[in-house]
Amino acid sequence: MDKINYSVVSEFVLLGLSSSQELQYFFFVFFSALYIAIVLGNLLIIMAVTSDSSLHSPMYFLLGNLSFFDICQASFATPKMIADFLSEHKTISFSGCIAQIALIHLFTGGEMVLLVSMAYDRYVAICKPLHYMSIMNRSTCTALVIISWAVGLVHTLSQLSFTVTLVFCGPNEVDSFFCDLPRVAKLACLDSYNTEILIVVNSGILSLSTFSLLVTSYAIVLVTVWFKSSAAMAKAFSTLAAHIMVVVLFFGPCIFIYVWPFTTYPVDKILAIFYTVFTPILNPIIYTLRNRDMKVAMGKIAARYFRPPKISEMPLVARISLH
Ligand SMILES: *[C@@H]1O[C@H](CO)[C@@H](O)[C@H](O)[C@H]1NC(C)=O
């Protein structure tokens, strides 16, 4: 029997979102604009949270960290996807593909846990308001952020340890715009059934358990305010509605793709756009436009950076030449 050459696949071909040429141009413009909005919107949140002392509270620290996750989440595959819209050969090297798999699991895993932390923060604020400051102190916040990254890291390392056992020897067309693990696992040529099971179980446990924690905490909060007053209920509900919308749009696609990955549907890659592009843009929109303190802080930043400079702030040379 011939020796099997395991190193045949040195790169993967990404089929992208669509094969239509006109659509590619449209997507290029659309996603470029969206990507710029994601980066600017989330950067603005991070700047507001770090520079404005009225936003130095646990909720906003977590929100700032969520924005950082969002920028990472939107940046590991989207710029390449955007560049690929204009290129004939949409290929990615083998190691690039593995890197994308590692990063998406790091960022989505971390973001899931961070969303749970944010829900916990709201739970403490609404259900234990008198102990809020002592429970959600600085070190709790830092711990929650570190735990988020740690869970993301453990999750991605375990996914990678399954992935390295896959053997690729021929087919290398990934029907998506980035290397999504279930799609890549489908290309493995030796029997990969057990590995696929492990991948599903790993992602499934993480997304289903964080999702049920979130739903439980929202339920507890809503039941608690229900018994307080209808005014409190209305206020809590408007805060939570934002959270719940993010959670549904983020977890829905993840659970759909990862919990039933054995049959891949054409709609999968559309759903993948949700967690790579749409959730990162949703967070700034939802948390900023609906939040007065945040709007005020952003207004200050805009005023600082986008108004014409006062003469006294100009460099000396410019001042002299003005006289
Ligand atoms: C992230 O959370 C930490 C810990 O609370 C905080 O010190 C930091 O400012 C946050 N980062 C951003 C960008 O908000």
284 lines ligand 1 (CB under 6 A): no
- CA angle, 312 as apex, 308 and 313 as ends, to 5°? 55
- Number of domains the chain is built from: 1
In a domain? residue 157: yes
pLDDT at 172: 84
- Rounded to an integer, the average pLDDT of 205-229 is 87
In a domain? residue 320: no
72 lines ligand 1 (CB under 6 A): no
Q: Residue 295 has which token pair?
A: 């709007």
Q: Quick check: 138 pLDDT over 50? A: yes
Let me know: does 124 contact 131? Beta carbons within 8 Å: yes
280 lines ligand 1 (CB under 6 A): no
In a domain? residue 318: no
Q: b vs e for 56-67, b when ≥16 Cβ sit within 10 Å of the residue's Cβ?
A: ebbbbbbbbbbb
Mutate to test the pocket of ligand 1, among 141, 144, 147 (most ligand atoms within 8 A of CB): 141
DSSP per-residue letters across 49-117: HHH-GGG-SHHHHHHHHHHHHHHHHHHSSHHHHHHHHT-S--EEEHHHHHHHHHHHHHHHHHHHHHHHH
49 lines ligand 1 (CB under 6 A): yes
Atom of ligand 1 nearest to the CA of 138: 5
The pairing of strands 173-174 and 11-14 is: parallel
The tens digit of pLDDT for each residue in 258-289 reads 766 566 666 777 778 887 888 888 878 877 76
Q: How many CB atoms lie within 10 A of CB 244?
A: 16
Q: Quick check: 165 pLDDT over 90? A: no
% the chain with pLDDT above 90: 31
Q: Quick check: 127 pLDDT over 60? A: yes
Let me know: does 283 contact 66? Beta carbons within 8 Å: yes
CATH code (residue 58)? 1.20.1070.10
47 lines ligand 1 (CB under 6 A): no
CA dist 117 and 122 (Å) reads 9
pLDDT at 176: 84
Atom of ligand 1 nearest to the CA of 60: 14
Q: Which has more pLDDT, 21 or 108?
A: 108
Q: What is the domain extent for residue 240? A: 2-307
In a domain? residue 316: no
- Rounded to an integer, the average pLDDT of 244-249 is 81
In a domain? residue 64: yes
pLDDT at 224: 84
- Give me the chain's average pLDDT, please: 83
- Please give the distance, rounded to the nearest whole angstrom, from the Cα atom of residue 145 to the centre of ligand 1: 8
Q: Quick check: 309 pLDDT over 70? A: no
Q: Which has more pLDDT, 147 or 89?
A: 147
pLDDT at 282: 85
64 lines ligand 1 (CB under 6 A): yes
The tens digit of pLDDT for each residue in 42-78 reads 999 999 889 888 888 898 999 999 999 999 999 998 9
Q: Which has more pLDDT, 38 or 233?
A: 38
Tokens 């040195």 -> residue: 10
Query: Could you tell me the pLDDT band of residue 313, with boundaries at 50, 70 and 90?
Result: low
In a domain? residue 52: yes
Across the chain, how many H-helices and E-strands are there? 13, 3
In a domain? residue 312: no
pLDDT at 3: 44
